[in-house]
Structure 1
Amino acid sequence: MKKWLITLSAVLALTTGTSIASAANVNGTTNDQIKYSNNGQAVSPAAPAVNIDGSLYLPVRALSESLGKYVDWDEFRGSVALTDKPVLTGKYSLNAPNLAEGIKMGVGSSLTHISGDPDNVFYSTADRGPNGQIDVNGVTRRTFPIQDYVPTIYKIQIADGEIKILDQFPLKLNGTDPVTGKSTISGLPNIKGRDEAPYDGKAEKELSYDPYGLDIEGLAYNSSDDTFWISDEYGPSVVHVKRDGTIIERIVPKGWAAQIATPLVPARETLPAVYNKLRQNRGAESVGITPDGKYMYMAMQNALRNPDKAMDNSRQVRIIKFDLATLNPVAEYVYILEDASPYKDLAQGDIVLSDMVAVNENTLLIDERDKFAGDKAQLKRIYAVDLSTATNILGKYDDATAAGKSLEQMKIADLKASGIMPVSKRTILDSVEFKFPYEKIEGLSLVNGNTLAIVNDNDFGIDSTLPTNGTELWTFKLPYTIK
């Protein structure tokens, strides 16, 4: 074996998307004896260096990860992104009374910070309320043990290691909900025969469907009119809400309003009809609004069943962009989920998007995760997503035809052949490295451009054996500012 002595001295980020470290060629040390350090601390690259024509080259991923950087490869653009890792700055736990025996209080299905509020104050939601699944004669029934639960927006504060609930705003109508008999709505599904059938806590009695019921997931604030928008899994829909919780209107797919009457909440059919092909419980999971209040983005949790259930393992997820002045969509982009094949026991359909922040018109933060918790977790990342060079596919690839595939049917090669450029992704947080213990990171927020906050949805502790509430919010300091 040829022998060298190396001093690791430089990283060159090239426009071709490769990075190398090089050194002089001298005798005295074999490759397996080379020692590496970063700022005086020993590091171990994941792959060995190679000697090419008297110079030592270290693979970009091995070198960058050794230096504490995330590495992302974009095969569509032929580029490599290196990003400094954040620092964990705080952990906060919810300590609140149980809603009922065996049912914990829940927040954390979303998270948003309003500019001008104190840095430690956020708003959150807790989806449709406590629900479970019981097998009855081989059929799984969806149960709602607290039928009078009201989907609610919570104002929360983090301080002294705790999540404190400062205020709450139950979602309500300008009128009476036909199921609750009050102005407040329920978390029950909307349409019989389309949505999951709702049952009582023992799975014995089928409950009424609520045309105004919401399974609230994402939450975004519009500074231009001081209102919230909520993404709803049932519709899928995006719901406009006043600060006091009063529902104003609902954006739904074309054809949705013909199935149900909601006279108290105007249904704006501006979502493309293809969104009716959602997978149950994998609907509109996240929503974000640009700071200027001009544009709103909504992302589905998974691929649509377009044309059928076989698409549950498609990697293509849709992100749609609305002009808030008209409520009409103006663009739609392709987000490619990570490939499940390198991970252990992880099905492609179990990789999901869970929340979003709209930093500006071309930059989103996206939460992508697997279904595992604790030591089994493998994929829980926050990505900075760039839309500026992505292809606008609005109105295209919604149907499979003899001439072509639907978006969801396409493979990577099909996207390239069709000239479809997906959004680009750059890791800014890998929470697995920090050992975040819970499965459902469903709340994501950015404060002052450089503080990242994540929170999990505890699913109201259904089937949980934890002695605590099981909701935690963690904060991280980014070594740069995202604007």
Structure 2
Amino acid sequence: MSDDTRRDDATRGSHSTNRRSVLLGGGAVLGLGTVGSSVVRGLLGGDDSTAAHDPSRISDPQIEFFDVDESYLSLGDVTFRGGNTLDLVVGLGSGAYARDDEPDDRFYTIADRGPNINCSDAPAVADRSVESICGDDTGGKIFTNPGYTPSIYTVRLDSMAPSQTAAVTETIPLKDSDGHDITAISNPLESTNTEGAHSINGNRIPYDPNGMDIEAIVRLQDGSFWIAEEYAPSIAHVASDGRVLDRHVPEGVDEDLSAATYPVTPSLPAVWRRRKLNRGIESLGVLPDEGSLVFAIQSPLANPDVATSEASRNIRIAQFDVDQNAVTDQYLYRLDRPQTFARDSRNGDPTQSDVKISELRVLDESHLLVLERVSRTTKLYVVSMDETDPIPAEYDALDREPTLASQSGDELSVDHFEKTLVFSTDDHDGFASKLEGVAMPNPETLILINDNDFGYSGAETQIARLTLSEPIV
């Protein structure tokens, strides 16, 4: 279950320079050199305009909502000692993907690590003290279904029925090299932080080096998949039958996962180990030639500390060469301010750490569609990789991340994406909270799906199909 707040907001930004720079505080000057004073004012908080707004890119789409047949997805009742019972269903919508050479009514989704509850929420959910279930591990997780296997789902939309419906037509459980189902239990991580795992009856669940908290998916022409997950964080190549062929983790994490029963390769930069807890890789796309992947960390890295992540607006997007098994480039993406998510703002006071990237799609060789959200408001942005310089390789060795304000001394300047807002759920009624999956079966169609957190809080899965008058790019 993602680390989410229940809030939102909305003023869309208007002005955008062709190139923007982010001040990293201290160190030598790399990249773009001098930063204009108007940009500096924006970074210091005087300007909320972070992007151009072009509503004509998705102008008055036809929007259809589909009910999901959840009977097939039931996980049954879970009853805590003391009597509290949860009626749980699989949450399909942590990620979604559609191929343009397959039927338009078919797409693929994944569910994350299964129903889980913060130990600190035990009194409210289970009517039991934190200590009776988790001991002194107040930051741990209660896994209500520890035998749950993360899976890939094929979903089919049906527009011909009396009401718009969607149904799961195939389930592919993830497996290790020997064909055994894996779990979604937390990993034994020494090189980065992790969460303790507990059963509903107060037993400690051993860490699992095979466990994955899956949040994004793409399907290749040969029928295999790439998935992204939050624990390590990592990306993994998965065969069409669900076997994990290789899991790519940051340098050093491979040693923590040496007992995994599938291949683990240290292909990602070591600095990605500094992902904020429960904010790993939650978005993944593939370029048209399938030779490269693009993925984003969900929140700014905790580099050097969590306070940096919570205050920052700067997220890394990486390009990964499949043949080289290596990240070839990293780019900087600038998040919106929390006050610009209208529905969240009306229901609370979102902070900068509530803003995150939950999905991205590759539109063509150089353009990405990025899903940025708090909870109730979701925005879709278009960015161009051709118009932005990557982060210099030397930057990964620095013990700090981009900051919102310049500091005394030399300034390290890094370019970040110019982005154009093309759609916001603040402009339309009926959309669910926590939209996390975007599938594009063709250039004129978007399918959005929410993460229902396995029905833990009563939310239902919703699928929305947007039919556009023309392609986004």
TM-score range, shorter chain: 0.7 to 0.9
The letter of the residue matching 2:224 is T
SS of match in other structure, 1:349: helix
**Structure 2 residue corresponding to 1:479, chosen from 462, 469, 472:** 469
Aligned residues of 2:257 and 2:264 also touching (Cα < 8 A): no
Give the match for residue 109 of structure 1. Answer: 94
SS of match in other structure, 2:454: helix
Give the match for residue 9 of structure 1. Answer: none
Q: Unaligned stretches of 5+ in structure 2?
A: 1-10, 21-50, 78-86, 121-129
CA positional deviation for 1:298: 1.1
CA positional deviation for 1:191: 1.1
SS of match in other structure, 1:74: coil
Give the match for residue 94 of structure 1. Answer: 68
Give the match for residue 382 of structure 2. Answer: 384
Q: Distance in 2 between matches of 1:327 and 1:435?
A: 43
TM-aligned CA distance change 1:338 to 1:460, over 3 Å: same
CA positional deviation for 1:315: 0.5
Deviations 1:12-58 (A, max 9, x none): xxxxxxxxxxxxxxxxxxxxxxxxxxxxxxxxxxxxxxxxxxxxxxx
TM-score (ref. length: structure 1): 0.76
Structure ranking higher in helix proportion: 2
Give the match for residue 214 of structure 1. Answer: 212
CA positional deviation for 1:129: 0.9
The percentage of counterpart residues that share the same residue type is: 28
Aligned residues of 1:398 and 1:407 also touching (Cα < 8 A): no
Please state if 1:319 is matched with 2:317.
yes
TM-aligned CA distance change 1:368 to 1:482, over 3 Å: same
Deviations 1:410-466 (A, max 9, x none): 54899x9644221121122211221244221110022221111110010101122x5
CA positional deviation for 1:236: 0.3
SS of match in other structure, 1:188: coil
Aligned residues of 1:88 and 1:474 also touching (Cα < 8 A): no
Alignment of 1:385-400 (within 5 A): 385-400=383-398
Aligned residues of 2:107 and 2:441 also touching (Cα < 8 A): no
**Structure 2 residue corresponding to 1:248, chosen from 224, 241, 245:** 245
Q: Distance in 2 between matches of 1:158 and 1:439?
A: 21
Query: Which piece of structure 1 moves more, 98-107 or 226-235?
Result: 98-107
CA positional deviation for 1:342: 5.1
Alignment of 1:39-438 (within 5 A): 72-75=14-17, 77=19, 80=52, 82-84=54-56, 85-97=59-71, 98-101=74-77, 102-135=87-120, 136-137=130-131, 139-160=138-159, 161-175=164-178, 183-191=180-188, 194-202=193-201, 204-223=202-221, 225-262=222-259, 264-311=261-308, 312-341=310-339, 344=345, 345-371=349-375, 377=376, 379-400=377-398, 406-411=400-405, 418-438=412-432
TM-aligned CA distance change 1:166 to 1:412, over 3 Å: farther
The letter of the residue matching 2:166 is I
Aligned residues of 2:189 and 2:253 also touching (Cα < 8 A): no
TM-aligned CA distance change 1:89 to 1:413, over 3 Å: farther
Aligned residues of 1:307 and 1:399 also touching (Cα < 8 A): no
Aligned residues of 1:189 and 1:198 also touching (Cα < 8 A): yes
Aligned residues of 1:152 and 1:171 also touching (Cα < 8 A): yes
The structure with more radius of gyration: 1
Aligned residues of 1:198 and 1:206 also touching (Cα < 8 A): yes
Give the match for residue 453 of structure 1. Answer: 447
CA positional deviation for 1:400: 4.4
Query: Which piece of structure 1 moves more, 265-274 or 429-438?
Result: 429-438
TM-aligned CA distance change 1:175 to 1:310, over 3 Å: same
Aligned residues of 1:222 and 1:291 also touching (Cα < 8 A): no
Q: Distance in 2 between matches of 1:302 and 1:122?
A: 26
Q: Distance in 1 between matches of 2:66 and 2:210?
A: 33
Aligned residues of 2:95 and 2:110 also touching (Cα < 8 A): yes
CA positional deviation for 1:140: 4.3
Deviations 1:184-206 (A, max 9, x none): 0000011156310000124x111
Aligned residues of 1:387 and 1:424 also touching (Cα < 8 A): no
TM-aligned CA distance change 1:411 to 1:266, over 3 Å: farther
Aligned residues of 2:112 and 2:150 also touching (Cα < 8 A): yes
CA positional deviation for 1:394: 4.8
CA positional deviation for 1:365: 0.9
Q: Distance in 2 between matches of 1:296 and 1:75?
A: 27
CA positional deviation for 1:337: 0.5
CA positional deviation for 1:262: 4.0
TM-aligned CA distance change 1:244 to 1:411, over 3 Å: farther
Q: Distance in 1 between matches of 2:422 and 2:53?
A: 11
Deviations 1:264-303 (A, max 9, x none): 3222212111001111110011110012112101101100
Query: Which piece of structure 1 moves more, 234-243 or 81-90?
Result: 81-90
Q: Distance in 1 between matches of 2:189 and 2:248?
A: 20
TM-score (ref. length: structure 2): 0.78
CA positional deviation for 1:217: 0.4
Query: Which piece of structure 1 moves more, 90-99 or 300-309?
Result: 90-99
> Highest relative contact order (Cα 8 Å, sep 6+), 1 or 2?
2
Q: Distance in 2 between matches of 1:159 and 1:412?
A: 53
CA RMSD across the alignment:
2.4
Q: Distance in 2 between matches of 1:91 and 1:412?
A: 46
Q: Distance in 2 between matches of 1:410 and 1:477?
A: 38
Q: Distance in 2 between matches of 1:396 and 1:123?
A: 38
SS of match in other structure, 2:393: coil
